[in-house]
Amino acid sequence: MEREIVIPGQLLSENKADSGPGTYVKDGKVYSLLYGVKNAKNKITVIPFSGKYIPSPRDYVIGTVIDVTPSNWIFDIGSPYDGLLHVSEYPRRVDSDKMVSTMDFGSSVLLRIKDVNSSMKVELTMRERGLRSLDVGRVIEVTPTKVPRIIGHGGSMVSLLKKETNCEMFVGQNGRIWINGKDSEMDLLTEAIELIMKHSHTSGLTDRISHFLNNEDDVVSEKDDAVLEKDLAEDEEDEGEIREDTYRKVDALLENDD
């Protein structure tokens, strides 16, 4: 599968309806926002080689409170752009003088991006089922472009991680992952995630992680270069589709959490 590398400002389409994550629209045409790989399946997306998370509407993210104003909580969402949660987007009424006691500086919160305007003002919401402060467990960070590898094809990797470690787990689109369980189980899960990060561009990764979690020798052999290239191409296709797939899985998780 041929992969086209694109640069910021490069024309990708004459049809603004083709615009997806990693692109922007100007004068009805679609341009690349990032330096990365173009994926033209369904909508046109650009998968960055590296860098910070770029917010998109409807993404689920894990944010940290960094400031509180009379009407907004301001969140670090692992992006060049802070996120704003207006007090009206909290699940219940909160008076201005109670905002800090409701969510204080440093609080980790599960949020959804409500809107991102042309000047990259990021509006957040908690007015959906299951969105909440994360008062237990740990939040760890990974490179946002590695999120599809941690989720795996059809959710295979994240299902494996949860099953073998007996931990709750939520993967935010911004590369922040919430885990909760016994300390020893969270330690094991953290090691497994670090292993995925280290070997994210190798083949047979799900099998390798399964062997690791079950304390077995790593007997997974490397595939030849042609098959490995196919695996990487499939990962890039997954990156373009991962948002919708993530929304379905997250909605199911949050429904079961009530």
CATH number at residue 215: 3.30.1370.10
pTM of the entire structure? 0.71
DSSP 8-state assignment for residue 220: P
- CA 89 to CA 75: how far, in whole Å? 14
The reply to whether 166 and 117 lie within a common domain is no
CA distance linking residue 191 with residue 86, whole number of Å = 36
Strands 29-32 and 23-26, sheet pairing: antiparallel
Q: Are 116 and 146 in the same domain?
A: no
Say yes or no: 179 and 145 in one domain: yes
227 dihedral zone (left: phi>0; alpha: psi -120 to 50; beta): alpha
Q: Are 83 and 105 found together in one domain?
A: yes
Q: Is the pLDDT of residue 77 over 50?
A: yes
Do 77 and 33 share a structural domain?
A: no
Structural domain tally of the chain? 3
Question: Could you tell me if residue 130 is inside a domain?
Answer: no
CB pairs under 8 A, 24+ apart, for 184-189? 186/137, 186/138, 188/213, 189/161, 189/165
Which contiguous run of DSSP H or E holds residue 30? strand 29-32
- 229 located within any domain: yes
Which amino acid is located at 126 in the chain? M
The mean pLDDT of 33-37, rounded to a whole number, is 78
pLDDT higher than threshold 80 for residue 251 = no
Q: Is the pLDDT of residue 30 over 80?
A: yes
| 114: CATH | 2.40.50.140
What are the helix (H) ranges across the chain?
99-102, 147-151, 156-165, 183-198, 205-213, 225-257
For residue 19, being part of any structural domain is answered with yes
247 and 176 in a common domain = yes
- Do 199 and 226 have their domain in common? yes
Domain contains 157: yes
Max mean pLDDT range (24-33, 104-113, 245-254): 104-113
> Is 44 found in the same domain as 65?
no
Q: Are residues 169 and 243 in the same domain?
A: yes
- Kindly state whether residues 100 and 179 are assigned to the same domain: no
Q: Do residues 109 and 171 both lie within one domain?
A: no
The answer to whether residues 247 and 142 belong to one domain is yes
Q: Choose one of 87, 104, 125: the last residue of a domain.
A: 125
Q: 165: domain range?
A: 138-257
Tokens representing 79 are: 């992006």
Q: How confident is the model at residue 53 (pLDDT cuts 50, 70, 90)?
A: confident
Report whether pLDDT(4) > 70.
Answer: yes
What was the pLDDT predicted at 229? 42
